[in-house]
Amino acid sequence: MSQNPCARIACTLALFRGVSERRVGTATRAARLVSLRSGDALVRRGGPLPGLCALTAGSLKLSVSARTRDERVLGLVAAGESFGEAAALRSMPAPFDAVAVSDAEVLAIPVDAVRLLLQRDTAFARNLLDRLAAEILRLLEGIEAGMLQRAPQRLASYLCTLAGAEGAGARRVSLPVSKTVVAGMLGVKKETLSRLLRDLSDRRLIAVSRREITILDRARLEGAR
Partner 1 sequence: MKAAIHLVKGVLDKLPLLEGVSPDAVRELATQSSVVRSARGEVIVRRGERVPGVYAIAFGTVKTRLPRPPGSEVVLGLLGAGTTFGKTAVMLGAPSQLDVVALGDTMLVAIRASCVLAMIERNLRFSRNLALALAERNQALLAELETGKLPSAQRLAAYLDSIAEPTAEPGRFAARLAVSKTLVAARLGIKKETLSRLLREFASDGLIEVSGRSIAIRDVGALRRIAASAPGAGAPA
Alpha helices per DSSP H over 12-110: 21-27, 85-89
The gap from C-alpha 142 to its chain's centroid, in whole angstroms, comes to 12
Number of chain positions touching partner 1 (CB under 8 A): 40
Asked if residue 90 binds partner 1 (CB under 8 A), the reply is yes
* List 17, 22, 32, 126, residue binding partner 1 (CB under 8 A): 126
* List 14, 33, 129, 170, residue binding partner 1 (CB under 8 A): 129
Asked if residue 30 binds partner 1 (CB under 8 A), the reply is no
Asked if residue 148 binds partner 1 (CB under 8 A), the reply is yes
Asked if residue 198 binds partner 1 (CB under 8 A), the reply is no
Asked if residue 208 binds partner 1 (CB under 8 A), the reply is no
Closer residue to partner 1 (CB): 53 or 215: 53
Closer residue to partner 1 (CB): 66 or 170: 66
- Give the three-state DSSP class for 35: strand
Stretch that binds partner 1, among 112-120, 177-185, 201-209, 215-223 (CB under 8 A): 112-120
Contact 93, 147 (CB under 8 A): no
**Alpha-carbon distance 38 to 50, whole Å?**
19
Q: Kindly provide the b/e burial profile for residues 122-150, where b requires at least 16 CB atoms within 10 angstroms of the residue's own CB.
A: eebeebbeebeeebeeeeeebeebeeeee
Question: Least distance from C-beta 164 to partner 1, angstroms?
Answer: 19
Contact 203, 152 (CB under 8 A): no
Contact 213, 159 (CB under 8 A): yes
Q: Which residues of this chain interact with partner 1, rule CB under 8 A?
A: 64, 67-69, 72, 74, 85-87, 89-90, 92, 95-96, 118-122, 125-126, 128-130, 132-137, 139-144, 146-148, 187
